Structure 1
Amino acid sequence: MTPWDLHETYRLVQRVFGRDQEKLTRESARSVTDRQAFSSYHFAEAMRLSKDFERKHLGGNTRTILEIHVQGAEKKERAFQVFMVQAGAHSLAAVQSLHAIPDIFAHAIYFAAGQNLQSYALDDSKVAVQSVVSCLKKDSQFARLSSALHSMQSGPGWQHLAAVSSVVNHNYSG
């Protein structure tokens, strides 16, 4: 499979739909790559924090995590609490960034295919994978994109990510 040439896409969108539409497409596509980078960064930070904590606090006389919760290990226990907050924050951000990518990508496809210019255009707040799939199916020029877009939120990998995101969001929202 040949890689997607974003610059060619932008040129085509501008030629067919105009500069404003190309700008919307470009901003959405940039947001996809931003979320990928954010997720990678947060994952790397969570791993770095884990290794740092392990190196500093689980070496020597401390062999298990349980040993930092005993009398006399208050400093290690405080360090563990700080580690859990920091690593948890980075983990949450990584999961949320990954989970958002398909819907942001749906925006890029929606604008690149000029779906916002159609009579059945969606309200901005309704643009998401499933609604864009429905729009694409109505447009004979872009209908074949609908199954590829739909596949971004299907399969066991997506189900696991959605479940983790749901649990994490539920635990931190209330």
Structure 2
Amino acid sequence: MTQWSVIDTKKYVEFQFGQEHLDLTAPSLHSLDQRLRYAQYHYQEIERIQAAFTETHLGTDPLLVVIYGGDETRRWGFEVMMIEVGAHATACILSIHAIADILAQAIYNVLGYSHAENERQALHERKINAYSVTRLLKQNRMYQKIAEKLADFCDDAQYKYVAALANRSKHHSIVRPQLSEDWTGKRTALHEFHFPAFRYNNKEFPELSFSEVLEPSYSLASHAVVEIGIMLNEILAKHHP
């Protein structure tokens, strides 16, 4: 995948709008990178915690033996693992979910909508989000491709699942991850974490494994960020000598 030069973006923003506007814009650009790194970190921690639990407490025994076998040390190890994995899974989901609105904020700033000279067009700070910025971009023919890409990202079924999971966890109750065990041989992994089925905004969402949610949604978000970043640079470069 082609890389997005954030350094070039900053250079273009400073040239077109000045240092003060660059200072306003830079935090959202940095936050895109940080949110993706946070999501990656939390996912890697889940893998590390599961591997450590397997080595220390599980071995080749069935999970039921660990939980109900009477060894309190092993059972407590399981409980601690589930708390830690739940914390990291929830944090991973929240970071991925945050990408859309932070990306919208970055687009809004980079294109100068928040610049003082565009005050009449400016949105209220609390109303700057992926959907409001998409509507704004559609009003300018030059920004149609960015608007389409941002809309495609937010409308993707993978992102909608993450958004529902994040909003359910933030505003109603945490969707607690579960660990399943398969001795049939039908599944590649013997042990697999998954999000149980849940309901949000009058819609039912199915049970899905971590591998069906976290990896694809991270890839979706990272590709959207890079592709839109490249589009922004292409637009800004036209005004740079």
* 1:139 counterpart residue number: 140
Paired AA for residue 133 in structure 2: V
Q: More deviation in 127-136 or 14-23? A: 14-23
Paired AA for residue 173 in structure 2: N
Partner of 2:173, secondary structure, is helix
Distance of aligned partners of 1:157 and 1:113 in 2 relative to their CA distance in 1, 3 Å threshold:
same
2: CA distance, partners of 1:71 / 1:13:
62
Partner deviation per Cα, 1:22-55 (whole Å, 9 max, x = no partner): 1222210100000011011111011100111111
CA shift for structure 1 position 152: 1.9
Structure 1: gaps of 5 or more residues: none
* 2:125 counterpart residue number: 124
Query: What is the aligned-residue RMSD (CA, Å)?
Result: 2.0
Paired AA for residue 45 in structure 1: E
2: CA distance, partners of 1:108 / 1:152:
15
Paired positions, count: 171
Q: What TM-score does the superposition give when structure 1 sets the normalisation length?
A: 0.88
Q: Greater helix share, 1 or 2?
A: 1
Q: What TM-score does the superposition give when structure 2 sets the normalisation length?
A: 0.65
Partner of 1:172, secondary structure, is coil
* 1:90 counterpart residue number: 88
* 1:172 counterpart residue number: 174
2: CA distance, partners of 1:75 / 1:8:
54
2: CA distance, partners of 1:20 / 1:127:
20
2: CA distance, partners of 1:141 / 1:17:
18
1:31 aligns with 2:31: yes
2: CA distance, partners of 1:149 / 1:71:
51
1:77 aligns with 2:69: no
Paired AA for residue 66 in structure 1: L
* 2:100 counterpart residue number: 102
Identity score, percent: 30
2: CA distance, partners of 1:162 / 1:147:
19
Paired AA for residue 29 in structure 2: A
Task: Check the 8 A contact 1:24/1:108 in 2, yes or no.
Answer: no
Task: Check the 8 A contact 1:42/1:90 in 2, yes or no.
Answer: yes
2: CA distance, partners of 1:83 / 1:168:
19
2: CA distance, partners of 1:64 / 1:71:
10
